[in-house]
Structure 1
Amino acid sequence: MSISTKSTYGIRAMFELALNHGASPISVAYISKKENISVPYLEQLLNKLRRKGLVKSIRGPAGGYVLAKAPAKITMGEIVMALDGDITPVHCASSTKPIKACKMIDRCVTKTVWKKLKNALDNTLNSVSLKDLCDDAKRMKVDKTVRHKYEFNI
């Protein structure tokens, strides 16, 4: 079991939006360059996140994307759920996906372990907000490049 590229890239894009929360909209090109994610793939992710109500798109020359809510109100779990749906180690531990036919479902001893693992993963992802990631970035001194629309030529 692993978190998909879709979710990891989506979290990275949302992190960039959270770092710049309250400033002007962030362009797809900026996020693409900063996070090394291709523009077409990033556009797909941001469109899906927009449809799920996690980001807003702003049109126009100074347009881009902004968070739909404060960074403290958006968790990694919400982002993963928006992009990938329910993440589970095995189908029988899922709370949202229909259980696939399993002949052992009624007497499976390991099912309880898989459910505990799924619950631990859900609890962890749902306990970490974008604000938490931004706070961690500040402690780690992650580069927050100042964005502006000026071009200096000498």
Structure 2
Amino acid sequence: MAKLIVIGIILAFFGAVLLVVQMNYRREMRDRETRVPTLDDQLDTLVRAGLPLRAGVTRDTLLARASEEDYRTAPWARLLLELARDTGDGAPCPCTGDGAPAGGTVVLLLDHASGTARYTLPDATAERIQSLAPGLLTRLPPGTPR
């Protein structure tokens, strides 16, 4: 009988641990959906989506152009505008027609209070960015010059 009591206590303990873990996981997922992404979050996500920083542009370069708070105030829009900005070093921008990727590409327009930028991106990258920030980029009709 004592063995059954010990087993019951152990099972109750593991059940309580699993309940706490599940509650924490749900809270983390809810918080993740509602919090504004930091500059690092945005950079990491865009790199995974297929839009990496070009040569000569670093996190420090971006912070020299705008504060961390500016990137959080207008997530995605501010960062995409800065990525499209000419650095003056002659390096091709991944968002213009210069060195545009081969294959299925789409031309998108970012029109924001801070400025506008045109992106020529592979379909998969465009879809990933549009899923991150719906309505941020406008798909231009096929045949639009890059």
TM-score (norm 1): 0.21
Higher RCO (C-alpha 8 Å, min separation 6): 1
Look at both structures and tell me which one has the larger radius of gyration over its CA atoms. Answer: 2
